[in-house]
Every structure is written in structure tokens, then in C-alpha cells.
Amino acid sequence: DAKTTQPPSMDCAEGRAANLPCNHSTISGNEYVYWYRQIHSQGPQYIIHGLKNNETNEMASLIITEDRKSSTLILPHATLRDTAVYYCIVRPSNDYKLSFGAGTTVTVRA
């Protein structure tokens, strides 16, 4: 699986958009970009995934660059409950194993 690079931490003001970057310069053509988050030792929670088109769901938006070497997760209106560690993963869609690295610790401040 391609490796990903994320900033270790970031702060965000409540009500503002949070933009979380992820670099995956060695991504292969059949690998998707997945985002999960984990709120303080709870079970990881799926957020969104995409292959090359931008995606949006009720939780977030995913912007993938045209060369697919990087992506950005956007939380449009961050709330205090969005404080969590966010993980960017790249893997084929038929590989169900998840491997989390350090992720980005996002702290939403009032």
C-alpha cells in the first residue's frame, strides 16, 4: 500500500472549515483514498473515500488533486465533537485491511 504523510496536529475554530491535507505521492492507479477518524480511543469511524473525483457526503468533502498525489479532507463547519485523530489511508477497494499510522490530531476550539 502507498504511504501517506499527514501533519501531526492542527487546530480549528468552532464553526469554521477544517482542511486536512494528506500526501500520497506513490499512490497506484487502483488505490483509493480513505479517511477515518478516531475520537479518543473509541472505534475508528469511516468518513469518506474516493478514487479521483471529488466526493461529498453528510460528514465531509474530499478533494483529490488531478495527479492524485495529494488530497484534502474538508470538514465544512467544525464542531467540538469533531476533535479527533484523522487518518488518511490509500489502498485498493478490495483490500479490507486498515493500517493506521499517526494521523493528524485535530483540536476544535470554541
Partner 1 sequence: EAQVTQNPRYLITVTGKKLTVTCSQNMNHEYMSWYRQDPGLGLRQIYYSMNVEVTDKGDVPEGYKVSRKEKRNFPLILESPSPNQTSLYFCASRQPGTSQRETQYFGPGTRLLVL
CB of 36 to partner 1, least distance (A): 9
In the complex, which residues of this chain contact partner 1 (CB under 8 A)?
34, 41-46, 49, 93-94, 96-102
Smallest distance from the beta carbon of 67 to partner 1, in angstroms? 23
Query: Any idea what DSSP says for residue 93?
Result: T
19 or 93: whose CB is closer to partner 1?
A: 93
Which residue do the cell numbers 482542511 mark? 19
Shortest spacing between CB 47 and partner 1, in angstroms: 9
In terms of phi and psi (left: phi > 0; alpha: psi -120 to 50; beta: otherwise), the region of 62 is: beta
Cα separation of 93 and 8, whole Å? 26
